Amino acid sequence: MTNITSSIHEKLWTNAKFLGFDASFDEASVVVFGVPFDGTTSNRPGTRFSTSAMRPESYGLETYSPLLDLDTGDVAIADMGEVSLNLGNTQLVLNQIQAVVADVLSANKKPLMIGGEHLVSLPALKAVYEKYPDVHIIHLDAHTDLADMLSGEKYSHGTFMRRAYEFLGEGRIYQFGLRSGCREEFNIPGVYQEKFDITTTGEIIKQLSGKNVYVTIDVDVLDPSIMPGTGTLEAGGITYRQLEKFFLELKNSDMNIVGADIVELSPPYDNSGSSTATACKILREISLILANK
Ligand SMILES: [Mn+2]
C-alpha cells in the first residue's frame, strides 16, 4: 500500500508542474513562477486564473520544440508554482514580486514570470534594473502601456512602462506590435516603437548584441482571432507565425537575455482553451530560449 500511495503522490506532484519543469530551485537555470494578480485591470479581469489554467493545458505539449530544435528535457527548469500575494494591496503585491525576482537573480538564475496583468512586470523590471542597470527591454504588446495615469492610478497595467521609463530613461525600451495608446504615448522621447507589426525585431536584436535584455510579452500582441483569451482586445494583431520568427531571432541572437515574462492571458474569455494552449506554447519556447542562452 505504501508504495502505491507514494507513487500516486509522486505522479500528482509531477503533474502539478508546467510541462514537467521539475528541476529544484538549486538545480535550475530558469525559474518559472506565476503571479496571479489582476487588481488594476481596466477592462475585463481574469488574468489571475492564467497559470492555474496553463499547467494542466501544458500536458498537451511536447517537450521538444521543432521550431527551436531544443527540448525542455535537456535543460533544468524549475516551476516554483504561484507566488503568495496579498491581492487586495497593490503596493504590497509589487513589493512581493520584486523580492521574488531579486531572489532568483541573486541566485544567478533567470526569472520567467507568468502574469497576471502587465503591472506585474514593473517590479520585475525594478529588480532586474538593480542587478543590471544597463538593461534594455524588448516589449511586445498591442498597447504602449506608457500612460502617465489610468483610471486615476499611477500604478496600473496601462502605465507600467511609463513608470519603468522613469528609472530606465531613454534608449532602453523597444516596443513592437503596438496599435493602441493615446497620442502622447506614441511621442515619448527615446522609446523605440514599431506600430502594427514586428518586422524590425531582427534589426533591433542585432543592435542589442552583447547587451543585457529583458523580454516582456503581452499575449494581446497576437490578433484577437487567435488570442481571444485576454482582457483588452485590440484588432489588427500579429499572427503566431510572426511570433515564431521573433523566437528564432532571440535564439540566434548574441544578447544576454536576463529574464522574461508572459502576461495578460485571461482563460475565462476563451472557453475553447485555445488561448491558454497558445500561451503554453509561448512559455515553452521562451523557457527553452532562456535555458540555452
Ligand atoms: Mn496589452
What is the mean predicted confidence (pLDDT) over 127-138? 98
Pairing of strands 212-218, 191-195: unpaired
* Model confidence at 236: pLDDT above 60: yes
Ligand 1 centre to CA of 144 (Å) is 7
Q: Give backbone dihedrals phi and psi of 111, rounded to 5 degrees, phi first.
A: -80, 140
Ligand 1 centre to CA of 245 (Å) is 20
pLDDT of residue 88: 87
* Model confidence at 14: pLDDT above 80: no
Task: For residue 1, name the pLDDT band (cuts at 50, 70, 90).
Answer: very low
Closest listed residue to residue 196, CA positions, set 157, 165, 235:
235
Residue written as grid cell 531572489: 103
Task: For residue 6, name the pLDDT band (cuts at 50, 70, 90).
Answer: low
What is the mean predicted confidence (pLDDT) over 238-242? 98
What's the one-letter identity of residue 163?
R
pLDDT of residue 69: 98
Closest listed residue to residue 231, CA positions, set 139, 142, 154:
142
Task: For residue 7, name the pLDDT band (cuts at 50, 70, 90).
Answer: low
* Model confidence at 21: pLDDT above 90: yes
Ligand 1 centre to CA of 14 (Å) is 32
What is the mean predicted confidence (pLDDT) over 192-212? 98
Ligand 1 centre to CA of 232 (Å) is 7
Ligand 1 centre to CA of 73 (Å) is 32
* Model confidence at 20: pLDDT above 90: no
Closest listed residue to residue 184, CA positions, set 206, 158, 210:
158
Ligand 1 centre to CA of 121 (Å) is 12
Q: Cα dihedral sign for 159, 79, 36, 100?
A: negative
What's the one-letter identity of residue 255?
M
pLDDT of residue 43: 79
Closest listed residue to residue 195, CA positions, set 264, 260, 140, 265:
140
pLDDT tens-digit map of 28-69: 999 999 999 998 887 788 999 999 899 999 989 999 999 999
CA distance 202 to 198: 9
Closest listed residue to residue 267, CA positions, set 123, 57, 105, 69:
57
Ligand 1 centre to CA of 184 (Å) is 17
Helix axes 121-131, 160-168, angle to 10 degrees: 10
pLDDT of residue 230: 96
Ligand 1 centre to CA of 42 (Å) is 11
CA distance 228 to 223: 8
Ligand 1 centre to CA of 6 (Å) is 44
Task: For residue 215, name the pLDDT band (cuts at 50, 70, 90).
Answer: very high
Ligand 1 centre to CA of 238 (Å) is 13
Task: For residue 217, name the pLDDT band (cuts at 50, 70, 90).
Answer: very high
* Model confidence at 276: pLDDT above 80: yes
Ligand 1 centre to CA of 291 (Å) is 26
